[in-house]
Structure 1
Amino acid sequence: MLARVIVLLGALGAAAALTLVPLLAGGPLGPWWTSLAFVAVVAAVGYGWTRLLQVPVGWGVGWIVVGTGVTGAVLVQLDGTDDLEWVPAVFAVGVVVAFVHQMGRRDGRPRLVESVSASVSGQAVVLLGTGWLAADAGTGSVAPLLVGATGCVSAALVMSVPWPRPVTLPLATVAGGLLAGALGGWVVEGTGVLPALALGAVSGATTAGLHVLLYRQPTTSHRRAAVSAGAACVMAAGLGVHVGARLTLG
């Protein structure tokens, strides 16, 4: 039960950092404060990623994940656009770095395939998360961030309930869509009910799906791993939020 609570807190913390900081930050340094918040969430993912996936490579994989996320955040700010066209190149370089890291091991390289997979999957998660940084579709609106975060939080709350997954998975998607649709239609200006409902459902489904993949006992009984799992569930929804923002605001 404690593991479920920590995973939920990790997801709530990540959603808050990715939405409240852009909402509150202002002035010329606002985008950089947003990037710092994003890097903090990336650090939470990398902090427990090795423990979460149970690979015997110490901190190396976590540092690769964090380095990839930091690179993504910097490029978003330097690029100044919302197309994320550089993501494939960054991911390709990250895969090379993952292999170089494994070549440098001097422990006999046990579970080599699992270690490389852990590095690559972690990099994929944080690069998907860069969608949160470019989710305004060039308009400066925080509406897609708030709607997407509502979908993620709703799904995380549902998935924290100890019910069978055939029940919680579709329920999380429906809850994310309905609550985000209500928020987008009647509370947040800049989007309508139907676009917000779709965006919330997509972000909720992504969060719930990754929760199913990552939540494993006894792995997530470790606090570091549980925090990483919760943050990763929200980060992975970044691409869906970004695409939804382009369709509704772009």
Structure 2
Amino acid sequence: MSASATATATFALAALVGLASFGGVPVLAVAAVGVGVLVAAGWPELLDLPARRGSTTVVALVAVAAALTAALTVGAARAEGSQVSGVLGHLPAVAALALLVAFVHQLLRRDGRPRLVESVTGVVAAQAVVVLGAAWVAVPTTYAGAALAPVVLAALAATSAVSATAWPLRVVGPVNLVVGAAVGWLASTVTALLGGGGTSPLAGGDPLVTEGRWVVAGIVAGLGAGLLVSAWRALSSRLPAARTLPAALAVAAVPVALGGAGAYLVGRLLLL
């Protein structure tokens, strides 16, 4: 796949997750799993890992487990009417179990376990990516609500388009910061004008998130997206397999997955 096709795939995945954020927890969990499965399918080829089939299976299972854990926690908290601020509290346990699964996978290999350290490191890195991607499930539980996801994803899509150009990284990096901040500001301003984040019945219908906080959050999210996408381009563009189909889809999916944790942090720390 060409760089432009990879950027288009990132845009499509961002649109998918953005739409899913308005469809409820189950739909958003399925979208998070889909992004994680794309990472799992292409990651071993992208890094030229041994035992690719087993590596893909392990990472995909972790993606499902992380999204399911987050979805069940959110659902349980809402059913009980309790606070949902700690809905990601179980993901560290998922990450710890994933590490054990990565070692079990190595024990089950029957190829003599060549490049053992490389294989373990690569699998664990992919597991970390898909666990962070499960944070998208919790983004609608922030005060910003589901409207926060499209703001972050718009910045990710825009900066991915910039990274698809033939410009050198020393140019792409600063441009991504500017484009990310600008798109984040624009998307957050539109969201605030449309009443994103809902209203508070205890405050006489006042918005839960003010326009000023939306703008700050959008700019911060855009800057974060610019840093993330630029760093990922610097890493992935040097890999020989980055243009093959499975690996390219993983390249497209990784920024979307990692954006979940960033979006949740923005929603929890800035939009109060």
TM-score by length of 2: 0.84
Matches of residues 92-103 of structure 1 in structure 2 within 5 Å? 92-103=96-107
Q: CA deviation at 1:16?
A: 1.4
Asked if 2 retains the 8 angstrom alpha-carbon contact of 1:18 and 1:38, the reply is yes
Q: Which has the larger radius of gyration?
A: 2
Segments of 5+ residues of structure 2 without an aligned counterpart are: 75-83, 198-212
Matches within 5 A, 1:45-60: 45-60=39-54
Distance 1:87 1:210 in 2: 23
Residue of structure 1 equivalent to 2:129:
125
Q: Is the 8 A contact 2:183 2:222 kept in 1?
A: yes
2:223 counterpart of 1:201: yes
* Whole-angstrom distance in 1 between the partners of 2:59 and 2:255: 15
- Quote how far apart the aligned CAs of 1:247 are: 2.0
CA separation of 1:117 and 1:10: change in aligned 2, threshold 3 A: farther
Q: What are the Cα deviations for residues 132-170 of structure 1, in whole angstroms up to 9, with x where unaligned? A: 111124447222101110111111011000111111022
The answer (yes or no) to whether the contact 1:3–1:222 under 8 Å persists in 2 is no
Q: Tell me the distance in 1 between the aligned counterparts of 2:227 and 2:95.
A: 24
What count of residue pairs does the alignment treat as equivalent? 244
Equivalent residue letter for 1:16: A
Contact 1:132–1:241 under 8 Å retained in 2: yes
State the Cα deviation string for residues 102-157 of structure 1 (Å, max 9, x = none).
11111111111111011100011011112211112444722210111011111101
Farther off after superposition, 168-177 or 111-120: 168-177
> Within 2, Cα distance between the matches of 1:140 and 1:78?
21
- Contact 2:163–2:229, Cα closer than 8 Å, also in 1: no
How does 1:1-250 map onto structure 2 within 5 Å?
2-23=1-22, 25=23, 30-80=24-74, 81-83=84-86, 84-139=88-143, 141-188=145-192, 189-190=196-197, 192-250=214-272
Root-mean-square deviation (Å): 1.7
- CA distance in 1 between counterparts of 2:20 and 2:91 reads 23
* Gapped regions of structure 1 (runs ≥ 5): none
Partners of 1:186 and 1:36 in 2: CA distance: 27
Distance 1:204 1:108 in 2: 42
Contact 2:144 2:267 in 1 (8 A): no
Looking at structure 2, the residues matched to 201 and 220 of structure 1 have their Cα atoms a distance apart, in angstroms, of 25
Partner of 2:202: none
Distance in 2 between residues matched to 1:82 and 1:226, nearest whole Å: 35
Deviation string for 1:62-85 (max 9, x for gaps)?
Answer: 111111111111111111234311
Output one character per residue of 1:193-236: Cα deviation in whole Å (capped at 9) or x when no partner.
22211112112321321232223353112111001111012211
Q: 1-side partners of 2:85 and 2:191: how far apart? A: 25
Q: TM-score, normalised by structure 1?
A: 0.91
- Amino acid of the structure 2 residue aligned with 1:4: A
